[in-house]
Amino acid sequence: MRRISLDGIFVPHVTPFSREGDLDEEALRTCVRFWVKGGVSGLVPCGSNGEAPYLSRAERRKVIEIVVDEVNGKITVVAGTGSMSTRETILFTKDAKDLGVDAVLVVTPFYFKLSSREMYEHYSALLEAVDIPVVLYSVPKFTGFSLEPTLISQLASEYENVVGVKDSSGSIGAITEIIRLVGDEVSVLAGTADVTLPTLMLGGRGAVIAVANVLPKMCSRLYEAFRKGDYEGASKLQRRISYLNEVLVKKHDQLSAIKESLKLRGLPGGYPRRPALPLREEEKKDIENVLKTMQEPF
């Protein structure tokens, strides 16, 4: 297995759908070109923002195929392959490897509440069944379950294909402990935009953040400023990004708000797939006003 180091800003990107709920392939290609041009380190198709739970196996394969083709080796592709069952997770992961992704992002199983033992066995079965770099993904906001730092450490020490962790808890305490335990072995990535710079300062390698869909250049500039030691510049960018994050991710429905923001930027973000609904007019106006405060260059 080829070892990779995941550093920088990754876009957990949306999946554009038509009003009827069909995958809009040309819209996706247009958005991929926009994100690549924004200077990000990689793209993450079929994650939470990609509405993966609403995608069939064939649709997941198609989205990943389009992204890999459009990226054409310019940046890293880390495909979301997690599902509710171990069997299906392994299946989706093998699909992604066959399609040529660089790594996979595997969310904790959801719906049923699993014990730590069951969670360990789930990931162990996956890691033994596939030969591809794996990023563990903890997003309690959506799954109701947080990966314990000790469990992450155990998996990272036992399986060399664990190359990263995306923690979307927003908890600096949790991120700090993960970095303490495994930061020298794997890439610890912030999963919420408001802790991007704190995660980097603590020893994390980067971030996989929703707002990068809308402001890829600004998010990339934050990472570059940090890397060059311009902490004042990075702090200013973090404050602006955090403000947008408060509105897009916390105030409004995340999926619909990101797609509306892309539309306001002249990009074909498409519609959310039902049961998710587009934003109401007053919500759209709120986001339009916030984007105006971001100031150029995006």
**For 38-63, how does the pLDDT look when each residue is reduced to its tens digit (9 = 90+)?**
999 999 999 999 999 999 999 999 99
Q: Is 188 exposed, middle or buried (0-12, 13-18, 19+ CB in 10 A)?
A: buried
Instruction: Please give the pLDDT value at position 287.
Output: 95
Residue 3 lies in a domain: no
Instruction: Please give the pLDDT value at position 1.
Output: 63
Neighbour tally for 234: CB within 10 Å = 22
The C-alpha atoms of residue 57 and residue 59 are separated, in whole angstroms, by 5
The C-alpha atoms of residue 149 and residue 233 are separated, in whole angstroms, by 31
CATH number, domain containing residue 207? 3.20.20.70
Instruction: Please give the pLDDT value at position 4.
Output: 85
Domain range enclosing 254: 8-294
Which residue has 């080796």 as its token pair?
73
Residue 79 lies in a domain: yes
Q: Which residues of the chain have pLDDT under 50?
A: 298
Domain count within the chain: 1
Question: Active-site residues: which are they?
Answer: 137, 166
Residue 2 lies in a domain: no
Q: Helix (H, G, I), strand (E, B), or coil: what is residue 167? A: strand
